[in-house]
Amino acid sequence: MSSLKSLLPEQFSFQCEIPLRITDLNYGGHVGNDRIMALLQEARVQFLAAKGYSELQLEGAGMILTKAQFELRVELHYGNPIIAHVQAGSFTSKGFDLFYKLETLHQGQPVLAVLAVTTMVCYDYEKKKVVALSESARQQLAS
């Protein structure tokens, strides 16, 4: 089984903290797989906002998530915040990948918890079709 670690960039341009809610836990007492996707979306929304964008407004286009992969490295528990790192890359004419590294704190030290990649495609929701990623958006997302 290959690891996503080899796909991730060495540097991440964005970081935010995401608190875990009690409703993020499953019957095992830790964050479930379905909630990992919600944490990735929260990190994505914060990353885009820091760049001046949203999932529905990327210089005239919206975005659709077409692919997602993640690897769980350690359990995430209530009361331990998540530090999310996000970086855009692997740009094409129609979209890009977002790379994520989620860390949790254990005894005050960051511990790698989740590695993830999502593929985002630019989309015109009114015309219901895939559209081009603007060069200025590409440059802003990459910075």
Nearest-5° angle of CA 69, CA 72, CA 75?
150
pLDDT digit string, tens, across residues 8-33: 898 999 999 999 989 888 888 888 88
Q: Which CATH number fits the domain 12-142, given the four candidates 3.10.590.10, 3.40.50.2300, 3.60.21.10, 3.10.129.10?
A: 3.10.129.10
C-alpha torsion angle, residues 107, 108, 109, 112 (rounded to 10): 80
Task: Tell me the C-alpha distance between 61 and 59, whole Å.
Answer: 6
Q: 0.75 exceeded by the pTM?
A: yes
- CA distance from start to end of the chain: 32
Query: Is the pLDDT confidence value at 43 over 80?
Result: yes
Contact yes or no for 102/82 (Cβ under 8 A): yes
- Give the position of tokens 């949790």: 104
pLDDT digit string, tens, across residues 51-68: 999 999 999 999 999 999
Contact yes or no for 124/62 (Cβ under 8 A): yes
Alpha helices in the chain (DSSP H): 33-50, 135-142
Region 112-119 average pLDDT: 97
